[in-house]
């Protein structure tokens, strides 16, 4: 019996990268996991298959975020396959943005639509489905605090907004025993960072040097933090920003 046996989780963007790591970890801990994807159905199905192969239970939900009605469509699909929710992980997001001098209004609006508006309304509509004592975990970024990278300004702004959302939503849902926290990764070895980490001569070395621990993070490093907050052991932590950068902000 896993620590999350009998609970249902939804991980947005759960088919790849950090989201897949989170989905698989929650599945190993016993949760039934809804694996959301925006466009890559094959990746989501691979994640579902991996969870099931490990003895867990999962299903896929395909909804493109950042469009009008996205939250409603997501929950309609979820409701066809599950009855109630215990853990909501708002992980899906656009992981970068062009610089201050280059970004146009279309890209700016898209980044905010996916990274800020979607989690807000997914959580708002999901609140009625969340059982008392549940969890909301938002995936932020080290760039929202002390690590300034002006070439990704708009992206960092969205994560700052998500952190304010986390703080204030914890007060809204707290009376029901629902905790709300942000988890902030640093540089993680995923397909979204592959070009920098593996496609440049010294990308891996540069990324390793940023961390106080001297290595590049893995999806499992972040997933383990999320799993702690999702468990009963994390019951007294809410409204918090949890640094999961491997000491990259020091």
pTM for the full model? Answer: 0.95
Residue 81: both structure tokens together: 């396959």
Name the band, by pLDDT with cuts 50, 70 and 90, for residue 194: low
**Within a domain: residue 30?**
yes
**Domain boundaries, position 125:** 8-189+218-244
CA angle 73, 77, 82 (to 5 degrees): 140
130 or 216, higher pLDDT = 130
Residues with catalytic roles: 155
**Within a domain: residue 2?**
no
Burial class (CB in 10 A: 0-12, 13-18, 19+), 123: buried
Looking at residue 207, what is its pLDDT?
Answer: 78
88 or 147, higher pLDDT = 88
**Within a domain: residue 204?**
no
Looking at residue 250, what is its pLDDT?
Answer: 66
- Lowest mean pLDDT of 75-84, 202-211, 214-223, name the range: 202-211
**Within a domain: residue 118?**
yes
Looking at residue 210, what is its pLDDT?
Answer: 84
Looking at residue 147, what is its pLDDT?
Answer: 61
Looking at residue 96, what is its pLDDT?
Answer: 82
Strand (E) or helix (H) holding 173: helix 153-173
- Domains held by the chain: number: 1
Question: What average pLDDT score do residues 153-169 get?
Answer: 96
**Within a domain: residue 82?**
yes
Residue 44: both structure tokens together: 């989501």
For residue range 2-56, list pLDDT tens digits in order.
999 999 999 999 999 999 999 999 999 999 999 999 999 999 999 999 999 999 9
Residue 32: both structure tokens together: 């039934």
**Within a domain: residue 197?**
no
**Within a domain: residue 210?**
no
Distance CA 62, CA 65 (A): 10
In this structure, the chain runs to a length of 250
**Within a domain: residue 209?**
no
CB 27 within 8 A of CB 56: yes
Distance CA 145, CA 175 (A): 28
CATH number for 22: 3.40.50.720
């Amino acid at each position: 019996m896993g620590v999350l046996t009998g609970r249902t989780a939804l991980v947005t963007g759960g088919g790849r990268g950090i989201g897949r790591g989170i989905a698989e970890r929650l599945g190993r801990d016993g949760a039934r996991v809804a694996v959301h994807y925006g466009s890559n159905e094959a990746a989501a199905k691979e994640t579902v298959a991996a969870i099931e192969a490990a003895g867990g239970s999962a299903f896929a939900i395909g909804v493109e975020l950042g469009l009008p009605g996205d939250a409603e469509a997501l929950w309609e699909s979820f409701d066809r396959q599950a009855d109630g929710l215990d853990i909501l992980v708002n992980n899906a997001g656009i992981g970068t943005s062009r610089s201050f001098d280059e970004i146009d209004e279309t890209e700016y609006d898209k980044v905010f639509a996916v990274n800020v508006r979607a989690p807000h309304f997914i959580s708002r509509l999901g609140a009625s489905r969340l059982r008392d004592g549940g969890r909301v975990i938002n995936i932020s970024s080290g760039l929202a605090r002390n690590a300034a990278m002006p070439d990704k300004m708009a992206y960092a702004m969205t994560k700052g907004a998500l952190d304010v959302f986390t703080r204030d939503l914890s007060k809204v849902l707290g009376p029901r025993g629902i905790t709300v926290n942000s988890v902030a990764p640093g540089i993680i070895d995923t397909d979204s960072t592959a070009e920098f980490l593996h496609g440049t001569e010294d990308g891996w070395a540069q990324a390793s040097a940023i961390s106080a621990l001297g290595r590049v993070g893995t999806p499992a490093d972040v997933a383990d933090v999320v799993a702690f907050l999702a468990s009963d052991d994390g019951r007294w932590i809410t409204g918090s920003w949890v640094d999961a950068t491997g000491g990259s902000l020091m």
